[in-house]
Every structure is written in C-alpha cells, then in structure tokens.
Structure 1
C-alpha cells in the first residue's frame, strides 16, 4: 500500500493553509483539493467559484462538492497559482494536494468462510451463523470502493452498480468492492442478507484512486441516500485509506455521518496506530481492526484508540468478479470493515433507526469484551464484533 501524510506549510498572512505532502510518490502532480469554511452555504458557492476561476486565470474547478457539512472543489494548477488562490479567497478553509488512495487487503490462500459464524456467537467453536430474519431488509448499503459486480448470484438482484468516478471504468474490474459488498450483503457470504446494495466506484481496477474522486463518491452516496429518504437507514463501507492527514477525506466522512449515514472504515494494514491513517482516524466513523479464526489479532492490523471494534479479517471468503458464482478468499482490514457495515445494517433493520454515532456505540456495547488475543497495546479496545443473537 502506498502511504501518505501531510505537513502544514507556512501559510501566507491571513491565507488559507496549503497542506504539503510528505510522500511525493502518492501526490497527483498539479492537482489540488480546496475545502471551504464550514459557514459557507450553498447559495454562496457560485460566487466563490466565480472568484476562484478568475484567480486561476480561467481554469475552472473540475469537481464541485456541495452537501451539508462539506463544500469544496478540486482543480488543476501550478504551485504559484495555488498560493495566490489561498491568499485571495477568504472563504477557503484549506487547500491540500490530491493524492492516490489504495485498498486495504492482502490475497491469501483459500479456506472455508468462518467470519459469519464468529459474528453470531460469543464462543469461538461454532459453525453456524445465527441471525434474525429481518437481515437488513429496508436498509441501503453503499459500497464505496472499486465497484460492485451486480450480476453475482450472491446478490440475488439486490445490487446495482450505480455510479463511477473513475474515467473509462464503469464496472468492478478488480474484485475488491464486490468482495466487501458480498461480506456485508451477500445471501451466502453476507451479514445483512436482505440489504439493498449500491455500488459507487471511486477506486480503479488497479485498486487505487484519487482523494478527490472519493469525496465525489461520498457526496453522491449522501445525495442518493437523501433522495431515497433513507437517512439513519443507510450504511456505507469504505475499505481504503492512507496515512494522515487528508483533512478533506475525514471532513467528507464526517459530513456523511452528520447526514445520517453509518460509515464503517478499515483501520489499515500496517501494524501501526490507526490514528495515523485516514479515514480510520475520523472519530465519527466506526473504525474496524482485524482478527483471525482463532481470535488472534491480525499481525498486519492497525491498532490504537481510534479502533472501535475488531472483526473477522483473515481468510475471508466472499463473492468475486469473473462469473456469477466466483469467490475469493482475501485478508485485510478491508475484509473486517464490511462485517461491521453489515452488522450496522442488520441492527438498523432489527432495532430501528438511530444516529451513526449511536449505532457504532451499540456495536461496541454488543461486542464480546476480552475475546481477542495478541492485541496491540496503546489503548486498543479488546472488543470482538457480535450481532447479539439469542441474547
């Protein structure tokens, strides 16, 4: 995985800060993300963008984001123009480089699926998955990833590949998004077996994407949720990330949760503090670390106080691309997060709507405390996800 972080550059007097990137390999040359101050309303956006275009010498922003809690745009420009823009536009909160973001999985050998059984029992030695028949019915689950192979048999016609923000790619040619969607919503491999699955492609078939594209995908999902009237009845899975800080990515996730979308995110696969990663470091998201079939904390999993819960993430079998019955076994916090996205959908259908923050707390409260061995220290919660079956 390519890792990235930012440092705060010395800003011009009274200018919006320009965030500088430490790992040049992941920066998209001359590509930028600008986030507006929180007090900027939709009615002011057109005026701000007009000033931006003027200062960019006629170059127009190419992505414009306008949803409650997050307004901004992406654009192409050389460094000198960026400094001018930061100094001239008082409505700007900050500008940061557009960067590459990657998936959070490893490929592993084939083993039988086990994560669902573990999710529905307090004890480890069980081979059945016990769940209420509501099974996420009436809840919408967004796969913000490499896309979804909607024709897979495990989705039973409940999935759509709805929107792509990757130029020239309209389907899942990677498999990562299909796999994670299968874990949260497949008929055989999924936690919430009746959920409506919506694929939003923000990562390419190579498994990487731009932060600006991810923000566009989040905005689209929030708008779609609101059009469906599903606020507080929707979940999203985001199994990607990189080193902090992408302030824009975290801000977009917070805007989504504020709008009523429960967001499960992967803690990361670098055996480091999840606090160092985005969107794993976003407090409003439900951040998920990984364990294996013996309840051992995964050797690759990130850890720390940002982690909300641990879930199965090693040798997880799920739906895959290539045919309607194809499967693959993958490992990573990418595989752990959709167990919790599915659990969120399951609980919303079973217990009724609640805020994303309350839902993450409910998942923590239900979890089995002290079940995971080999857990990294530094205040990592030892809580293994559990669906509350038969309790």
Structure 2
C-alpha cells in the first residue's frame, strides 16, 4: 500500500481539534478562486435537524433532500449540493470558495473545516511473479465450522500445516527456514487458539469484500458503501486484507465477523470524507452491538492513508476509541517516516496500533515506512490471502496493508479472552507479546515483531 496524494494539501497543520480560520486571500486570489470540496464537522453540541442547521448557515434549502442509502449501506443524505454523513459524528461536504470556508469556520457550531482530499492506496500485487492460484488441494478443512463451540474447546490450541508464511511467523519465536518451501507456498505451520476471535466484529475500511469466497465461511458481509449501491470489491485489496484478519485458511482469527465498509473504489482510491463516514458507521454499529449477547468487541482495520494530518479523520477515530473501539492502521509504503501520514501518525496521540511490514527473512520490507510512530511490525511481503477473482481464488500481495490485518487479527484473539480491555490496554498487551530485537537491517523505530505467544515451529 503506497500512498499518493491526489488533490490539494490539507489546511490543518497542527494537532489542535479546533481549526483556526484560514487567512483571507487577496482580492485577486479571491476572484480566481473556483472553490474546492470541503468537509465541515459540526460541534458535538449541534444536534438540530439538518434543515435548521443549513438554513442558519445561509444555504438555500429549496432542493428536496433525498436519501442515498441502500438498506444498511448508507453514506448519508443529499441536500442539493450538500452531502451529509455521520450519526455519531455529524458533518457534511460541499463545494465552496475559500472565503466562504473562512466564514463558515468562524461559526460556533462548526468544530472544524478542511478541504476534502482523495487518497489512492497503492499495493504491490505479486501476480506478475507468482500468478493467481486456486486454493484447491491446499485448502485447510476447518472441522465443523458452523458448529457452536463447546466450553472445553475454547482454550484448545490447534495447528494448521497448510498456512501461509506470515501466520507461521507470528506463532513462532524462531526465524523461518525454507526447508524447500517457497514464500507463497501454503506449507507452513500455524498454531492458534481454537476460539480465535469468536464474537469479535472487525470493520474492514477498504475496497469491499468478496463475501462469496468459500474461505470466509459465511462470516463476511458488506455493511456500508460510499459509492451508491456498489458493494462489490472491484480491486481485491479489501478481500485480501479481510482474508488475513479472519479467513479459514489465511486468517489469524478464524472465527471473527468480517464487516465490509467500502470506502475505496475499483482503483483503490477514496476521499477523506468517505473514510470519516466509514468510521462513523462502524462506531454507530458498535454502539448497537455492544449490548447484544455474545459480543466481545469491535476492531477497525484501516489499510489505507495519506500524507499530512487529516483532522476530521483524527476526530472520528478519537471518538471511536473513546467508545471502546480498537483500531489497527497501516504505516504506509513510501520507505520514509510514518509520522508524516494519517492515520498512521495518530498512534502518538490515540490508543491505536500503527503497523510496519517485514519480509520472510525478518527484515523491514523495502517499501515499509518506519520511525517512532510505528508501534509494531508484522509480515507484509508476498502475503497469500483471499482474492476477489472467484470463490476459491487466492493472490499474493505486499505492503503494510498486508501487515496491518495480521495485527487486527491478533487483537481479535485477545479480545475474545478479555473483552473488557480498553484500547490502551489492548495496545499495551499486543506490544508486550511482540518479539523484541528480532528484526535485522537497521530498523528505525521499535524493533518489535508481532507474535501470539504460542511459540510453534514454523
């Protein structure tokens, strides 16, 4: 996942949650200002109906509002050229000039205002080298997958001998040896707890999920889209990351509920406003789910990001973590300081886990970002997981996008055992179980590799 900045730079350059009004442009600049798309986030105290809010702001509300949702897949409502989002975190987007943005920022019911941006999430697809494969005979049979677990089975430790290398690496203390195996072979050993992730919801903010893939065992479903009625995964990035979190063959936590939140299109690109709306949807869903029987916790996996400090996204994730949601984010793939990117840099301010990527010989993957904002590294090079190409297809990909869901899966494993852990406590636990000093090649930042503590032989 390599980030590339597509639209204009972000207005905010501080960590403040309140935006200072932009400097007024000169008359010449104002006359040339054709406007931009902006994200306006309302203060938490502003709870009035949208019509009243917009009328007070001076918008013409003669255009009839129309809902742009399909079933549960809701992005918001259009009021003319205004597009609302959020239930727990209220905001809207609109096209306006910088002078109008400055005026709007001064209103007491506006928390922040910022130009919307579009980020393209790039990932290294290894098909040119390895090709697209079918699970075929390598598919690991999960016995009685739909049967409810008995109490005496919950703490059982199982071993999978048909695992990809990344799963083997996080369940052993020793470096992997080839023993005639290729990186993409499903011939590695993975030890895991039978209960892994049972009752945990993982919201995949990504390009969607191929929910028809056999390896999800019916546990994956789409719950949100920022693209009208499109809930398909046209790229494959989202299906791949979901597979690493919790598919039967390729997943860390093989019992989790995988919830697709589509915020990236078929080019793996999406807007900042869509990401914020996706977080808000996950938060709203979490607040409903937390009172239901069997619920163990909620995790947001964000294998995406872009440069700069994205204030609306920070505010959304801050509210999510305050509500008890756990978050794993990708460190970025520019081989530079991860602190330059969002949401990666939020790990210094919020109890979220920022993940860098390693290769099969325990070195930092060549494209992975690094630095103090990285909390832990996980395998991210040549990772085989579920594909959007069919119900049994798999595909190898590389990037911090592939490392991040391994951490999300590990978080789900721990949440089943102790659902009372708050985000800060779970982050501390995941970090404490990591292998220290294992990584080679001059790691900048924490020399810490994800591990589940079972210490199998890979």
Instruction: With the length of structure 2 as denominator, give the TM-score of the two structures.
Output: 0.76
Are the equivalent residues in 2 in contact too, given 1:16–1:92 (CA < 8 A)? no
Rounded Cα–Cα distance in structure 1 between residues aligned with 2:246 and 2:255 = 7
Alpha-carbon distance, 1:16 to partner: 4.3
Q: Distance in 2 between matches of 1:263 and 1:146?
A: 18
Within 5 Å, which residues of 2 pair with 1:16-27?
Answer: 16-18=20-22
Pair 1:373-2:440 in alignment: yes
Structure 1 residue aligned with 2:230: 169
Measured against aligned partners, the alpha-carbon deviations of 1:139-166 in whole angstroms (never above 9, x if no partner) come to 1111110001101011001110122112
Structure possessing the higher radius of gyration over alpha carbons: 2
For the pair 1:81 / 2:100, whether they are aligned, the reply is: yes
Cα distance in 1, alignment partners of residues 415 and 279 from structure 2:
20
1:319-361 Cα offsets, whole Å, 9 max, x none, are: 0112101111000000000000011011111333311121111
Is 2:56 the partner of 1:51? yes
Equivalent residue, structure 2, for 1:306: 373
Tell me how far apart the structure 2 counterparts of residues 56 and 75 of structure 1 sit (CA, whole Å): 14
Is 1:92 matched up with 2:110?
Answer: yes
Matches within 5 A, 1:135-146: 135-146=196-207
Moved more, 217-226 or 161-170: 161-170
Partner of 1:236: 300
Aligned partners of 1:160 and 1:198 also within 8 Å: yes
Stretches of structure 1 that go unaligned for 5 or more consecutive residues are 21-27
Alpha-carbon spacing, 1:346–1:46, altered in 2? closer, same or farther (3 Å): farther
- Number of residue pairs matched by the alignment: 374
Cα distance change on mapping 1:153 and 1:15 into 2, 3 Å: closer
Report the Cα offset of residue 83 of structure 1: 2.7
Q: 3-state SS of the aligned residue for 2:86?
A: strand
Say whether the 8 Å CA contact 1:288–1:308 is kept in structure 2: yes
Following superposition, which runs of at least 4 residues in structure 1 exceed 4 angstroms of deviation?
43-47, 55-60
Q: Distance in 2 between matches of 1:348 and 1:359?
A: 8
Q: Distance in 2 between matches of 1:56 and 1:374?
A: 60
CA RMSD of aligned residues (A): 2.7
Given the alignment of the two structures, is residue 213 of structure 1 paired with residue 274 of structure 2, yes or no? yes
Question: What per-residue deviation string (whole Å, max 9, x for no partner) do you get for residues 103-122 of structure 1?
Answer: 25211233982100001111
Q: Who is 1:193 aligned against?
A: 254
**The 10-residue stretch of structure 1 (220-229 or 73-82) with the greater mean CA deviation from structure 2:** 73-82
Aligned counterparts of 1:19 and 1:251: Cα–Cα separation in 2: 23
Q: Distance in 2 between matches of 1:33 and 1:114?
A: 42
Distance apart, 1:86 and its partner CA: 2.4
Instruction: Check whether the contact 2:41–2:111 (CA below 8 A) recurs between aligned residues.
Output: yes
Aligned to 1:72: 91
Q: Is the 8 A contact 2:203 2:260 kept in 1?
A: yes
Alignment partner of 1:6 is 2:10:
yes
**TM-score, L = length of structure 1:** 0.88
SS class of match (1:226): helix
1:123 to 2:174 alignment: yes
